[in-house]
A and B are shown apart, each in its own frame.
Chain A
């Protein structure tokens, strides 16, 4: 059912992407795209949230899509700290089937995964990591698109998420 095309990019940049006083900024979006022309027709975006509490505190955006239509997810995760190196950070992204929209608990990643990937890196000041992933969802239902961090040496981790409702 799944067809995944991935362009992943890991790199350093010298600027920040934040307004809130946090150690991470995330720009996550999912958009429809015409494969022939490469044009986007509609998109939904989400910023950074944090856990705990489980599921975060921000309202998760919902994107209604049709089964089989070509979609793209893109995220850019930026370490906003101007100082210090955080070692062995993991940034993970995935799309997984969920039971319902606004689901607080994370669905298990051992089944129902549409696509997933992860980066392991040392976070230098203001470095960023991102990916653009093309995918289709052929089965109706609810899916969770999520980017999250691990081991950032903070008392909380950041994530960004969007619910997809496939009709």
Chain B
């Protein structure tokens, strides 16, 4: 045992090197003074041995390839040598491609407990400063197919927690990350000095995916970007580094060390909060499940509207049934069934994208429509004719309010 009589240890100035050295020397002296003892029981090793022990899982890296609808995708995978399933992060490089810096970033992110895939989209990368923006990225089906395949590939890995996947992109890659998050449910999206957009359709597609924007310099699009995210009720955070040039995180000419370190910590904290600590039954998880269901869905907004609102549709049937007091149990049960279907239609509408208008408003309207339908169901359960009529009127008002912005 190596112990010395010291009641507490507190450095006089936070983090001073002098304090560390003195304490380290004390420990070293105590460690070397510990005598060797024979016997069967394990001897307590000197504290420094434990302190210096390298007992964290090693980081394994490998070049990987997987199929996508647009052909084979290559990437660089970093994961810890552990049997534990971990959250995952997809890294999308900037215009310089899958560089050594990107691979180093993958390893560093991996070291705090993520499976990290840095995709190689080198063949699709534009020249520096020629990135066409997130809206164009959303329309670029081939790149989007490759990135979606990367997310699916990560989610299917046994060492990945499939409901905890985030994406981080830089510059051109940031535009791709935003487009990917708009097309595929993810737990978090980090965009580093990418093009800031106020495209309502694109931002609406993010649904409940939180967004962290690392912004360099005075970006004139920042105000509109923020306003659009707020209008769409998107959970978002902006870290502005006003005094640096774009690409300040990448080692090279515009590199700004202090700001880059600060940006990384912001990214780690954001991923920790929204990817690693993502609740299994949280909104993003539900969106993921809903999104997966939607991939198999065939009903468009127009289909739902026709099925509900046409004279022979569910709501039309409901209106006719409530023109007069229902005669008995069978009629009330029929009213309840139709009202319940209208409520389900409201939930379906909420999961769809509006043809026009803001996504936040669309969600609000769809929820209000669903709530009104629920009131018809409740009234039917209570055989309350007047309440059922009143709730039916609210349904009509909801339709009108929604059509004003989204039809």
A-to-B contact residues, CB < 8 Å: 4-13, 15-23, 25, 31, 33-35, 37-41, 72, 74, 76, 80-89, 115-124, 128, 130-132, 134, 153-155
Q: Which listed residue, A33, A115, A153, touches B265 by the CB 8 Å rule?
A: A153
Contacts of B30 in A (CB 8 A): 7
CB distance from B223 to the nearest CB of A (A): 26
CB-based nearest B residue for A155 = B273
Residue among A15, A19, A89 with most chain B CB within 10 A: A19
Contacts of B4 in A (CB 8 A): 5-7
Task: Assess whether B262 is interfacial by the CB under 8 Å rule.
Answer: yes
Closest 10 CB pairs of A and B: A122-B15, A8-B9, A21-B113, A83-B264, A84-B265, A21-B276, A117-B8, A39-B41, A82-B108, A38-B1
Q: Which listed residue, B6, B34, B42, B43, touches A6 by the CB 8 Å rule?
A: B6
Task: Assess whether B281 is interfacial by the CB under 8 Å rule.
Answer: no
Task: Assess whether B272 is interfacial by the CB under 8 Å rule.
Answer: yes
A19 touches B80 (CB 8 A): yes
Please encode chain B, from 73 to 88, with 1 for each CB lying within 8 Å of some chain A CB and 0 for all others. 0000000101010110
B5 touches A5 (CB 8 A): yes
Task: Assess whether B62 is interfacial by the CB under 8 Å rule.
Answer: no
Task: Assess whether B324 is interfacial by the CB under 8 Å rule.
Answer: no
A38 to B268, CA, bound (A): 41
A16 to B113, CA, bound (A): 10
Please encode chain B, from 31 to 45, with 1 for each CB lying within 8 Å of some chain A CB and 0 for all others. 000110101011110
Q: Which listed residue, A10, A40, A84, A115, touches B11 by the CB 8 Å rule?
A: A10
Please encode chain B, from 148 to 167, with 1 for each CB lying within 8 Å of some chain A CB and 0 for all others. 00000000000000000000
Chain B interface size range:
35 or more
CB-based nearest A residue for B30 = A7
Task: Assess whether B407 is interfacial by the CB under 8 Å rule.
Answer: no
Please encode chain B, from 289 to 320, with 1 for each CB lying within 8 Å of some chain A CB and 0 for all others. 00000000000000000000000000000000
CB distance from A85 to the nearest CB of B (A): 7
CB distance from B32 to the nearest CB of A (A): 13
A37 to B34, CA, bound (A): 10
A121 touches B57 (CB 8 A): no
A9 touches B56 (CB 8 A): no
A11 to B7, CA, bound (A): 18
Task: Assess whether B54 is interfacial by the CB under 8 Å rule.
Answer: yes
B44 touches A19 (CB 8 A): no
CB distance from A22 to the nearest CB of B (A): 7
Q: Which listed residue, A12, A35, A80, A121, touches B111 by the CB 8 Å rule?
A: A80
Please encode chain B, from 235 to 260, with 1 for each CB lying within 8 Å of some chain A CB and 0 for all others. 00000000000000000000000001
Q: A5-B5, A76-B51 are in contact. Are A83 and B43 (CB under 8 A)?
A: no
Contacts of A134 in B (CB 8 A): 1, 3
Q: Which listed residue, B7, B24, B112, touches A80 by the CB 8 Å rule?
A: B112
Contacts of A11 in B (CB 8 A): 20, 23-24, 27, 51
Task: Assess whether B401 is interfacial by the CB under 8 Å rule.
Answer: no
CB-based nearest B residue for A78 = B56
Residue among B6, B15, B52, B271 with most chain A CB within 10 A: B15
A83 to B34, CA, bound (A): 36
Task: Assess whether B136 is interfacial by the CB under 8 Å rule.
Answer: no
Residue among B3, B27, B57, B87 with most chain A CB within 10 A: B3
Chain B residues 330 to 351 lying within 8 A of chain A, measured CB to CB, are none
B37 touches A21 (CB 8 A): no
CB distance from B273 to the nearest CB of A (A): 6
Contacts of A5 in B (CB 8 A): 3-5
Task: Assess whether B285 is interfacial by the CB under 8 Å rule.
Answer: no
A6 touches B8 (CB 8 A): yes
A7 touches B43 (CB 8 A): no
Contacts of A83 in B (CB 8 A): 108, 260-261, 264-265, 268
Task: Assess whether B19 is interfacial by the CB under 8 Å rule.
Answer: yes
A12 touches B20 (CB 8 A): yes
A117 touches B39 (CB 8 A): no
Contacts of B26 in A (CB 8 A): 7, 9
A95 to B15, CA, bound (A): 25
